[in-house]
Chains A and B, each alone.
Chain A
Amino acid sequence: MEQKELKTFVQTVLTEASTFEGYVIVRAQSRREWSMRLSNGRFERVSTGEDHGFGVQAFTESGATGFASSDVLEKEVGRKLVAKAIQLARRNEALGTKLNRQIWDTSKVIAEEVNPAQKAFGEVPLADLEEQVMTLHSRMKTAFSQAVWQTSYRQAEEVWCIGRTDGTLVSFAVPRAVLMHQGTVRAEGKAQSTLSHRSGMDASILYAELADHSLEEKAVNRAKFAQAVCTAPQLPSGHYPLIIDYGLAKGLAHEAFGHAVESDHMNESVLGEKGKLRIGLRVARPGVHIIDGPLVGDWAYQPYSANGLLRETVTIVKNGVLEAGLGDVFSGPEAGMPVTGAGRAESYTNVPLPRMSNIRLLVDRLLPLPSSLPLMDEVKSIREILLTNGELLEGQKNLLLLGYRGGQVNPKTGDFVFQCDGIIDVADPDLAIYQPSIFSGKILSALEAIRGGLGEGCFDAIGTCGKGGQAVPSSGGSHRYLLMDPDQQVSLGGTLG
């Protein structure tokens, strides 16, 4: 369904609510997705899918909310859903809910964003995509036959239209595509898996990969590394100087810091005090910055919030000082932060929550790093650069953490954990490899430990954020690597029983 059709439908539903004395937000979404998965040289699955529907969030005059959604885009269903949402909102009022009238203070927005995709969804026929992905998959076996390879490709297009009682009508399209190679390797009876991806807006990523093979090279390097990890020893638990790659840095910025500055978390966040963001708090050394905002062409791109506000780029930390949070219309003001359009929802069936888009952790103190080297050559290069610049902390292990497998944080306590694919001691001339082990600690200590960066900015580390049970694309990064001092509140590893 196109933007124009969705807009017409949203206007129709708003008309149904025109006699309601409260406030209504209507969110309509249309989604198309093509996906395929190949294993060991054959297709395991090719799937096409469509989903469209709408949600109505109603507010009584006093500010109590009710929500209703349906996957039937019909005027009659629109009428019923408006009535249902209003009925639930009134029921909620009687329950003694916390009232919220912030939406009345929001300015009207009219916007229709052009779809930024270079190749429209469906421009490349599915049969052609299948052929290209099969070619790319087949190359993996030739490139590194010791791994069992699974390749998947997914392209999706979401079209959103958000309308509000105040006449706001915003529509935009979000295209995204990802190609992934997952390799499973074995050595001495032990197995490890590794996942590498290349993301973008559309099928252009397949053409780019066919031309430059950059994902193939990365996947093969990571599979060889995983093979070495299979038989590697475990690292003694401790507090070490660390070098983390940009995937892990994205994890640190997203899990350990971004969630803690989301406006709906201020009553519980370690970065909140009496429900307000602790603006002005020093959280890192001078020269450390954290920025969140949508980037065109990025996996987590979204130009407007799911409440119909412009999504702004926010400098969360500037020169080590907490400067702003990610505020949505409903909790931003109460949390003492500006409303920056941070509300995002997985789909029309969900109520939006404040959350990140693309989050970047940057430092001023930067060492150059040659780009496009094979993995272990790059590691050697890191060692040489650190030695040359007196950055290797002597007499101890200096550990490079490679690959980001995900993480989790408790914003209330500030506890975080991350997992990597494996670890290399760059203080050891032989570049000893260790098993992955948990990178954990307190978020403020981890930020405070960042002392510098290596290489250019890389912001294409992608993932799916599961906050509130909603799966929303997330992304971000940092310089190619970040350097961290040892800290007693940040540790690596544990001891096997």
Chain B
Amino acid sequence: MKLVAQLEDLFYRCQQAPKDENLRLSAWRLLVNESQVVSLGIKDNSPGGVYTPPSYRQKESGEVFLVWADGTCSEAIVQLQPQSTAEFWEQKMQQWKQAAYTDPEASHIPAPEPLPLVAVEDRIVREIIEGDDDVIFDLAKQWLEEKPDRAKVQGSIQAAWGYRNVRTSTGLAVTYQQSQFVSWFSFDSLVGGGFAKRRLILPEEQKKLWAQTVKRYEALAGEASAVNPETQVIFAPAMTEELLGQFIVPNFSGERVIEGQGAFSKENFETHKEVFHPQFSLTIDPLQPLEIGSYMVTSEGVPAVQTTLVQEGKLQTPFLRVKDALRWGLKPTGLPHGAAGLYLRHTVEETWNKILSTIEDGVLILSVLGLHTQDAVAGSYSLSAPHSLRIIKGEIVGRVDVKLSGNFFRDLAAATTRLGRSDLSLHPYLVVRTGVQKL
């Protein structure tokens, strides 16, 4: 019997006619993920080595949230128990009851609402899981055949597929299939490319990503002139994603705002304080087809919905889970998955190639060391970026090692900040004026 069925049965019984009145539930919700993953890695030009072998993983686990008749609640992580008996689950309920705590605002389970139709499954990924996995082995082989002569390749290819089950005591019962395809490679651990969506990478996407990375790898071979205080800094899309994850996601968490642990206060949101330049907006969009941050329903049973966090530079709302929405007095919002599902936009957006051609004196930051160590609340960064690419008169001319000092909130508030669209990423290139000097 599947875990979701075991739990559903258990919770209905405990809500309607518990054996032990002390274990009566007034409400509940559960999420169960059934997943299968196939992966293959490359280490030091060797596919499937002892640390990165072809792998298969299966898991059936989830999380439950229970509201007891006395109003207290419990949370637990659960997994499939093939040999489980009614006694086993009774014992579990006893344990969960012992872990109950009081949190009246958390005990609200929303009524079901119509779910949006969001494409989150690619059938081809399912076929990979079911055994037609040549695509994974072929891609690894292709990387190794086409790699630059001197480059040492590291990489990983992963396909995942499974069922997501959400059930609530208010009547929501949804099960849908979802998939993921994630691949990345790097040359000499210095420069790389990555792909992460709910669908297989297309041959033309792979080709473009590979060509761009090879070009940058070759550019890193030559030394370039040092930067100066006037040098413009350009964060590559992967960097923008990391910066959003480090500085934006935590500070737009409703829970952190309510608890006074974020960069912005509740009042800042209520008065729509301008924190970014008016040309910037920031949105959560879980409805985009086959994107990694897309979903149909949250683990709390809330349908996916687009949510504007910042409009014309002004704070609109943090992202709110059910409990935080209740405390705030609004409806629950869409949720980001890390920085995936988060879209930074500017009223004037140009393609990266066009932006590049306009840069007289710049440095393209592909990666930094130590971003995760920066204080998210302050927004400040002090980072080292060895192996960055120098741009002179619209051309990438070679490698330069730099140090960056600035503040991400200030970057997004500056009139001088520009945004360039990438055709390989949903996240943009960010062109900023920030502290830059030789490393």
Contact = CB atoms under 8 A, between A and B. Distances in A.
Given A130-B101, A418-B373, A494-B405, A71 B60 contact: yes
A53 B81 CA distance: 11
B405 A69 contact: no
A47 to B, nearest CB: 4
B438 to A, nearest CB: 10
A184 B75 contact: no
A51 B369 contact: no
Nearest to A264: B51
A92 B57 CA distance: 16
A6 B51 CA distance: 24
B431 to A, nearest CB: 13
Given A353-B51, A412-B188, A440-B403, A34 B99 contact: yes
Given A48-B77, A435-B380, A405 B54 contact: no
Interface stretch (A38-46, A110-118, A167-175, A215-223): A38-46
Nearest to A191: B377
Interface stretch (B19-27, B116-124, B257-265): B257-265
Interface residues of B: mostly helix, strand, loop or mixed?
Answer: mixed
Contacts of B401: 415
Contacts, number: 243
B250 to A, nearest CB: 10
A237 B377 contact: no
Interface residues of B, number: 77
B192 to A, nearest CB: 13
B58 A69 contact: yes
B49 A440 contact: no
Contacts of A88: 53-56
Contacts of B59: 53, 70-71, 349
Contact of A49 (B46, B58, B76): B76
Contacts of A51: 61, 77, 79
Contacts of B79: 50-53, 71
A438 B384 contact: yes
Interface in A16-64: 33-34, 36, 39-40, 42-53, 57, 64
B382 A330 contact: no
B394 interface: no
Contacts of A474: none
Contacts of A74: 82-83
A406 B373 contact: yes
A204 interface: no
A191 B380 CA distance: 10
Interface in A62-77: 64-72, 74
B13 interface: no
A440 B369 contact: yes
A419 interface: yes
A127 B101 CA distance: 9
B255 interface: yes
Given A72-B82, A415-B369, A148 B58 contact: no
B76 A92 contact: no
A407 B372 CA distance: 8
A330 to B, nearest CB: 5
Interface stretch (A96-104, A283-291, A316-324, A444-452): A96-104
B75 A46 contact: yes
B60 A72 contact: yes
17 contacts: A43-B102, A97-B49, A148-B261, A184-B260, A267-B44, A268-B189, A330-B51, A406-B370, A410-B369, A412-B190, A415-B386, A415-B401, A417-B383, A440-B384, A493-B405, A495-B229, A496-B405
Interface of B: 43-44, 46-61, 74-80, 82-83, 95-96, 98-103, 137, 140-141, 152, 188-190, 229, 233, 255, 259-261, 263, 369-370, 372-378, 380, 382-384, 386-387, 401, 403-407, 432-437, 439
Given A412-B190, A493-B405, 15 more contacts: A48-B76, A48-B77, A50-B79, A67-B56, A91-B137, A97-B53, A148-B259, A193-B376, A237-B437, A330-B51, A409-B369, A438-B382, A493-B382, A494-B437, A497-B435
